[in-house]
Amino acid sequence: MGRKKLGRAEKSTLAAIIVAGGQGTRMGGVDKASVEVHGVRLVDRLIAQLPIDTDYVVVSPRELGLPATCEQPPSGGPVAGIHAGYEYLILDHPDIEYLAILPVDAPDSPHILPPLVEAMRADASAGVALIRSQDGSLQNLCALWRTDALTHAFKELGSPRNQSVRRLLAHAGRIIAVPGTGQERDYDTRKEADDYASSATVNLTRAQFG
């Protein structure tokens, strides 16, 4: 797939890796990124809510008409996909401070980025901040990494193919948890997507920093 030039590289401190390469088996085998809510694909809903001037790349083997990349060969697991997104973004952003990882099936997750950035700025020793959902679980794919910490983690991990996100996090250094708001919720099944559609707003707003 063709590479599309990213903009505003000199101004950005944050870029996002949108993980959209799963098989969608729990969604009935459909491409989660292309599931529509109020006539808008989940991937487009997520992008529309990113903070202004946030560059991004979608990790997917499918043609979505968006800046995209994919591990080669495909189906190498989430860490391989994250690594592909990381390599794509740092070409345009070699000095980027933070890299966010967001799953495409959590379309409202951009709104967790401001508290994640705030928490990281308050703790200079942290390599990554994760969202702790309201049920107490840590969301490994709703994360904000310092770019240097992610670079170090990949070097320590070795080949990213078929590795777990937990293995990657083991090389992150200090991990901090930030309470979720519910906006990090992911929708894995068709029923969950239908439930989301019944409550989701039509008009989308961008996440904002205070």
Phi and psi, residue 103, nearest 5°:
-85, 140
Boundaries of every domain in the chain: 14-197
pLDDT for the residue numbered 1: 54
For 132-167, how does the pLDDT look when each residue is reduced to its tens digit (9 = 90+)? 998 999 999 999 999 999 999 999 999 999 999 999
Asked if CATH classification 3.90.550.10 holds for the domain at 14-197, the reply, yes or no, is yes
2-16, 34-48, 161-175: least confidently modelled range: 2-16
C-alpha–C-alpha distance, residues 197 and 202, integer Å: 9
The answer to whether the beta carbons of residues 83 and 142 sit under 8 Å apart is: no
Instruction: Give the number of other Cβ atoms within 10 Å of residue 116's Cβ.
Output: 23
pLDDT for the residue numbered 190: 83
C-alpha–C-alpha distance, residues 103 and 32, integer Å: 10
Q: Which spans in 41-183 are helix H? A: 42-48, 78-92, 113-122, 147-157, 165-169
For 26-41, how does the pLDDT look when each residue is reduced to its tens digit (9 = 90+)? 555 689 999 999 999 9
C-alpha–C-alpha distance, residues 180 and 131, integer Å: 5
Q: Is residue 194 within a helix (H) or strand (E), and if so which, with residue range?
A: helix 190-199
C-alpha–C-alpha distance, residues 13 and 25, integer Å: 35
Q: 3 or 108, which is more confident?
A: 108
Has residue 189 got a pLDDT over 70?
Answer: yes
pLDDT for the residue numbered 26: 56
Has residue 4 got a pLDDT over 70?
Answer: no
pLDDT for the residue numbered 210: 75
Pick the closest to residue 83 from 23, 4, 146, 155 (CA basis). 155
Tell me the average pLDDT of the chain.
91
